[in-house]
Structure 1
Amino acid sequence: MRSEPFAGDDLSHDAFLGGRLEIAQPRRGYRAGIDPVLLAAAVPARTGETLLDLGCGAGVAALCVGARVPGMRLAGLERQPAYAALAQGNAARNGIPMEVVTGDVAAMPETLRQRQFDHVIANPPYFDRGAGTRAADAGREGALGEALPLADWVAAALRRCRPGGHVCVIHRAERLGELLAAMRGSVEVLPLIPRRGRAARLVLVRGRKGGRAALRLCDGWLLHDGACHPGDRENLTASTASVLRDAAALPFCR
C-alpha cells in the first residue's frame, strides 16, 4: 500500500479519451490502461445520476464516465492514500466534481455506508497472490494483488447500489464463474476479445439490481483488427477506437 504522496517528478500526465482528460499517474507503480476506460464506457449512465467507483485508483474510470455524461455526481473509494490524492487532483484538473473517500472496501466508511448510488463500478485486483508473485512496487501491488475476495467486492457493490441501479465490473475471464455466483438481479456478460479467433482475456459483467431477466451472454467485443500486431502501429477496431478516443458508450447485447 502506498501512503506517502507522489512527488511531481514521480508523475506523468497522460491523455485519455482523445485528450478530453489529463490524468496524473505514477511513472512507476500502478498505471491505468484501457481496462478502466472500457469499464466506464459500459455504464448506462444518464445526466444527474450518481456513481460510486470502488477502488478508484487515480480516478480514471469515474472521470471517464463524468467526461462522457456531464452532470453525473461521482464518488470514489480508494484505500491507498497516495492514489486517493491523485484521484482528487485529477478531478480538479479536469473540472469534473468528484468526491474521493480514503478507505477500504472491506470496511466501508460511514459516509458511503449510509448511501446508495445509481451505478457502482469496480476494477478489482486481478491476481490471487496465493498463486502468484507480488509486484515490487507497493502501490502497484496494492492495485493488482487480491487481498479481499472477489465475491466480497461484488457484495459491497450490490449493497451500495440502489434497487434498479447497475453494478459493472471488469475482470479476468477465468474469474467469470465467481462473478456470476456473486452477482444478483439481471446480468449481462460481454467478453472482450483481443483479436478474431483468440480467447477472451477479460470480461465486462453488468448487473441490474432487482432485475428478473435471464442471464445474457453477449457477442464478444473485438478490440483489435488483424491476426497479429503490425509493428508500432495501433490497430484498434473502429468501434474500440471510438470508445477509447471519442468517449463513445460500449453497448452490450444489441
Structure 2
Amino acid sequence: MIHFADHELSRDAFLGGRLHLYQPKAGYRAGVDPVLLAAAVPARPGQSVLELGCGAGAAIFCLGARVADLALTGVELQPAYAELARRNAAESGLPFEIFCADLGALPAALRQRQFDHVIANPPYFRPGAHSRAVDAGRATALSETETPLALWVAVAAKRLAPKGYLHMIQRVDRLPEMLAACEGRLGAPEVLPLAARAGRAPELVILRARKGGRAAFRLHAATILHDGERHLEDGESYCPEIIDILRGGAGLSWPL
C-alpha cells in the first residue's frame, strides 16, 4: 500500500484545534499518549528533534505546534504513514523532513546527523502479548515485529548530540527493558509514571535520559490524568493540568 485514499482518512483536531492531522479511519489512530509525550519534552526554539517511528506525526507535530522554530525530522517504516506525515506537515505549515526507513538500517544521510532531542512512542506489546490487530498499520504500531525495544534506545542514543535528551513513552512493565537499554548509552534517567486516577497503579511511564548525563536515577510521583476515583458520567474527566496540555498546548511539568 503506497498511500491512504481520502475516503479512508479523517481530519482530527489536536491541542484544542491549534493542530489538525489526517489519520486513517480504520487503523492506528493517535490518542492522548503522543500528545503527552510531546508535552514532556523541554525543547527550545532553534533546536532539532528526531522522532523514531513517527507514524502520521502526532507527537512531533504537537511538539512543533507548542515550540516555535524547531527543526523536525521523522523516521517511519511504513510508506503509507510516511506519506501521511508529509501531508500533515505541509497542511500544518511545519518544516519537516522524513525518512522512510527501518530503524536497523537508517540511511547514511541520517546516520551522519545528531539531534538535541529524540522522541519515541515504541510498540507497547511484545509479539504474542495481545490479540492480532486486523489492520496491518495498527498491528505494527501496537506490537513489536522485527524491532526490539532495546534497538529503539540504541538508535536514539547514537542520534543524540552530547547532552541531548531522549523522551520515550511506554507501558510500565517495559520499564526494566528501557532502563537496561540505557546502560552504557544514556545517563541521568528519570521516570514519570502516568496514572489514570489517584490510587490506581500507573499503566504508562515517560522515560527521560540524557546523553552524557551523570545524575542519579529519579522516580517521580505519578501524574494523575483524571479527576475522581472513578468515571461517573459521560464526557471527559481530565485534571486541569492535563486539559491544559490536551486542549491548550501546554507543557507537561516534571517535578523538581
Q: TM-score scaled to structure 2, two decimals?
A: 0.96
Name the residue aligned to 1:64.
62
Whether 2:160 is the aligned partner of 1:161: answer yes
Q: CA deviation at 1:230?
A: 2.5
Question: 1:157-191: CA deviations, max 9, x gaps?
Answer: 11000110000000000011111111221111000
Determine if contact 1:188/1:217 at 8 Å carries over to the other structure: yes
Q: Does 1:197 align with 2:199?
A: yes
| 1:1-254 equivalent positions in 2, closer than 5 A | 3-147=1-145, 148-183=147-182, 184-254=186-256
* Residue 15 (structure 1) shift: 0.2
Residue 133 of structure 1 and its aligned partner are, at CA, apart by: 2.3
1:146 Cα deviation (Å)? 0.4
Aligned letter for 2:206? L
Instruction: Indicate conservation of the 8 Å contact 1:188/1:252, yes or no.
Output: no
Cα deviation 1:48-97 (Å, max 9, x = unaligned): 00000000000011101100001000000000000001111101111111
Structure 2, unaligned stretches of length 5 or more?
Answer: none
Q: What's the secondary structure of 1:163's corresponding residue? A: strand
Deviation at 1:130, TM superposition (A): 3.2
Distance in 2 of aligned mates of 1:111 and 1:30: 28
- 4+ residue runs of structure 1 moved beyond 3 angstroms? none
SS at match of 1:134: coil
Q: Share of identical aligned residues, percent?
A: 56
Checking the alignment, whether the CA contact within 8 Å between 1:6 and 1:82 is kept in structure 2 is yes
In the aligned structure 2, how far is the partner of 1:223 from the partner of 1:47? Answer: 28
Given residue 19 of structure 1, which amino acid in structure 2 is its aligned partner?
Answer: G
SS at match of 2:155: helix
Kindly provide the amino acid, as one letter, of the partner of residue 148 in structure 2.
P
Task: Give the Cα–Cα distance (whole angstroms) in 1 for the partners of residues 156 and 180 of structure 2.
Answer: 14
CA distance in 2, matches of 1:26, 1:237: 29
Aligned residues: 252
Post-superposition Cα deviations, 1:99-152, rounded to whole Å, max 9, x if no partner, equal 011011121122211100000000001111133322111111111120211111
8 Å CA contact 1:50–1:119 kept in 2: the answer is: yes
C-alpha displacement of 1:200:
0.4
Query: 1:102 and 1:232 mapped to 2: Cα distance?
Result: 40
SS in 1 for 2:62: helix
**RMSD, aligned CA:** 0.9
